[in-house]
Every structure is written in C-alpha cells, then in structure tokens.
C-alpha cells in the first residue's frame, strides 16, 4: 500500500483528492494539511466525510514525512518549495497547481507573475495528460497536473492535430466551466446572486491557460499552434464544455475524421468518442474521470467542430492526478477512478 498525502486538502480539488484516494485499493491516506484549518478534522469542514475521514489537518512538513506520494492542491507559486522538499526526501510529488505546467520560465513569469525558484526541478518534471504523454510520466518524480480547460481541449483536439488533418492557425476555443473551477474562496463573480441564472465570458483572449493549451497542442502537432481561447462561467457546480473550431485541410474527407478519432481513442479507458448524432453533455461525465467527445464537420465552411466535456474536479483535477499517480507506482491506470457517472 502506498501512503498518500494531500497538501491543501480543504479546497475543492484537495477534498476531491481525499474522497477518491479513500476508495483506492492500493493507497492509504496517511496525512493531510490545511493552513486555514490546521488542527481541525477534515470531516468538520466537510460533514459528508463524517465517520469516513476524520483525519486532522496538520502541516505540510508532516504530510511529506508521512507519505510516499504527496499531492499539492495549492494556488500557483506555492508548490515549488514543497516539490524541492519531496525530491530531497525521495517522495513522489504531483502538483495540481500551475507551477510545473509550463516549459518556459518566461511564459510563467508573463502569465503568472512568478519565477521558477528551482529550475533544475522543472528540467525533470513531466506534464501529465496520460492519454497524450503516458510514456513520459512513468518513472518520474514530479508531475505537473494539467489545468481543467487544457485537459478538455487537448483530448478534444489531439487526434486531428496529430494526424495533420487540420490547419494549425485560426483555432477558436469556446469553453464553459462550472463555478468550482474558480476555487473555494468566494469572489464577486462566484457569489451566488452574481452567478446564479447568469452566463458570461471572462478573460477573453487573456486567460492564464492559454500558454498551456498552446504548448500542449504544439507538441502534439509537431509545429507551433496558436489559439483564440474564450472561457465562460456557467451557473453549475462542476463540468466543462469546450467547443473548438478548426479549418480542415482541402484534401481531407470529412467522413475520415470520425474514423480517425475512434481509432486513436479505441483503447483509452477514460475517453469516449460518442456515436454519430449523440451530443456530449456535462451531466454525462459528472463525478467521473471520463472525457466525452463528439465531432461535426461543416461542409459549407470546411470547419471541423469538436465538442469535449469533462468534470473539472475529476478529469480536470483530482481524478487525473490519481491517474498520474497510478502510472508512477505501476498500478492499474483505472484504480480508484473507475466511477460510473450518475444518470441524472
């Protein structure tokens, strides 16, 4: 049994990690930490865990000392010292924040206004979308868990870009997220009277996930990819729907694209290419690690339209982090995260 710990266990992604790790067949949740609630049992903050997980929130150092693998669910800029401590102690480290997602320190400085404190750690860290970079993840010590928007986009576009059937310029990504994507700390835009019965775009063409999306898509395509990314806030708790528009190359037959997607994802446990005519819906992946994809071709405009849905708290955060952990420890990739989505 691997001993796992969560730093930042009282945030939304952190408590999802704990909830999922509790049902993992090869993991014991050995320690958790929270700055805001240190000394309190987790079940006191989240009563749904009463008599299930009454672990006391301790310090980050206690988590590192007690565990074989440490998950950090922290705001950007706060994970680098923890990563350094884990490496020194010989522990695996999986960061759900942004500190190990970007290859370029210049991009990190520009988009997050922070510096890479330990450049040598970034040289050995790996970016963890298993379906795209599975071979790179095995055997590593530090994993940068992807952002939720970039996960839905990368899984939705990988087959088309890898096969080279679309142009790499003029890609438009129209994405919508539930309110949990903003974290547990309330803000004006996530205050109930502001977001209920509301629907709006935010940070159009300026969202911090833009460089992460472009970095991943460029690696898949083998050439520089630029995108226009416009996120929106939906008045729901969880879920992401990304609708993406790409220009098909002139010689590509529209009917061949579906076969391409079905073939590339046929052996993936968590990616479902839906049958023709069945639209994707966030409710159909809720509380699961699935990504559902549907594709359409507009013959009039020669556009490929891809829709992709995930649960931002699971495949977009905690579930994918555990999927990465499974790869690091040689467990079955689906262990602990093979939940079936509820029907309603």
The rounded Cα 247 to chain-centroid distance in angstroms is 26
Three-state SS letters, 172-185 = EEEEEECHHHHCCC
* Contact in structure between 41 and 55 (CB atoms under 8 Å): yes
Measured between alpha carbons, how far apart are the two ends of the chain, in Å? Answer: 34
* Strand partners of residue 291: 271, 310
| Residue 148 annotated in active site | yes
Per-residue pLDDT tens digits of the chain, which is 344 residues long: 999 999 999 999 999 999 999 999 999 999 999 999 999 999 999 999 999 999 999 999 999 999 999 999 999 999 999 999 999 999 999 999 999 999 999 999 999 999 999 999 999 999 999 999 999 999 999 999 999 999 999 999 999 999 999 999 999 999 999 999 888 887 878 888 888 888 999 999 999 999 999 999 999 999 999 999 999 999 999 999 999 999 999 999 888 999 999 999 999 999 999 999 999 999 999 999 999 999 999 989 999 999 999 999 999 999 999 999 999 999 999 999 999 999 99
CA 90, 95, 98, 100 torsion-angle sign: positive
- Return the closest-CA partner of residue 244 out of 258, 256, 227: 227
DSSP string over 200-260: EE-STTT-TTHHHHHHHHHHHHTS---EEEEEEE-SSSS-EEEEEEEEBPTT--HHHHHHH
Helix (H, G, I), strand (E, B) or coil at 284: helix
Helix (H) or strand (E) holding 62: helix 60-66
Half-sphere exposure in the Cβ direction for 72 (13 Å, CA): 29
* Contact in structure between 141 and 87 (CB atoms under 8 Å): yes
The domains found in the chain, sorted by start residue, are: 2-124 (3.40.50.720), 149-311 (3.30.360.10)
Question: What is the spatial distance between Cα 312 and Cα 319, in angstroms, rounded to a whole number?
Answer: 9
Given the residues 86, 148, 195, 291, the one annotated as active site:
148
Question: What is the spatial distance between Cα 79 and Cα 73, in angstroms, rounded to a whole number?
Answer: 8
How far is residue 237 from each of residues 106, 183, 322, measured CA to CA in Å?
34, 11, 21
């Amino acid at each position: 049994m691997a001993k796992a710990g969560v730093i930042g266990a009282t945030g939304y992604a952190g408590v999802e990690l704990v909830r999922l790790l509790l049902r993992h067949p090869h993991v014991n949740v050995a320690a958790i930490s929270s700055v805001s609630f240190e000394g309190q049992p987790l079940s006191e903050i989240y009563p749904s865990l009463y008599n299930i997980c009454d672990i006391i929130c301790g310090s980050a150092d206690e988590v590192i000392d007690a565990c074989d693998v440490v998950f950090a669910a922290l705001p950007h800029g706060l994970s680098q010292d923890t990563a350094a401590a884990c490496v020194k102690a010989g522990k695996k480290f999986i960061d759900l924040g942004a500190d190990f997602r970007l290859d370029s320190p210049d991009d990190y400085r520009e988009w997050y206004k922070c510096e890479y404190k330990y450049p040598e750690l970034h040289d050995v860290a790996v970016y963890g979308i298993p379906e795209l970079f599975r071979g790179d993840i095995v055997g590593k010590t530090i994993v940068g868990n992807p952002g939720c928007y970039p996960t839905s986009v990368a899984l939705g576009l990988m087959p088309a870009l890898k096969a080279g059937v679309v142009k790499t310029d003029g890609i438009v990504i129209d994405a919508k997220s539930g309110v949990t994507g903003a974290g547990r700390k309330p803000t004006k835009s996530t205050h109930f009277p502001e977001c209920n019965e509301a629907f709006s775009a935010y940070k159009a063409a300026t969202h911090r996930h833009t460089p992460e999306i472009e970095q991943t898509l460029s690696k898949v395509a083998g050439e520089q990819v630029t995108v226009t990314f416009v996120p929106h806030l939906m008045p729901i708790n969880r879920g992401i729907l990304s609708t993406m528009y790409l220009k098909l190359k002139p010689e590509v037959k529209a009917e061949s694209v579906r076969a391409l997607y079905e073939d590339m994802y046929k052996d993936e446990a968590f990616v479902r290419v839906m049958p023709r005519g069945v639209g994707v819906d966030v409710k159909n992946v809720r509380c699961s690690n699935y990504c559902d994809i549907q594709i359409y071709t507009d013959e009039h405009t020669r556009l490929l339209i891809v829709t992709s849905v995930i649960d931002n708290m699971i495949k977009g955060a905690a579930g994918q982090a555990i999927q990465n952990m499974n790869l690091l420890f040689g467990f079955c990739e689906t262990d602990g995260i093979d939940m079936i989505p509820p029907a309603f």
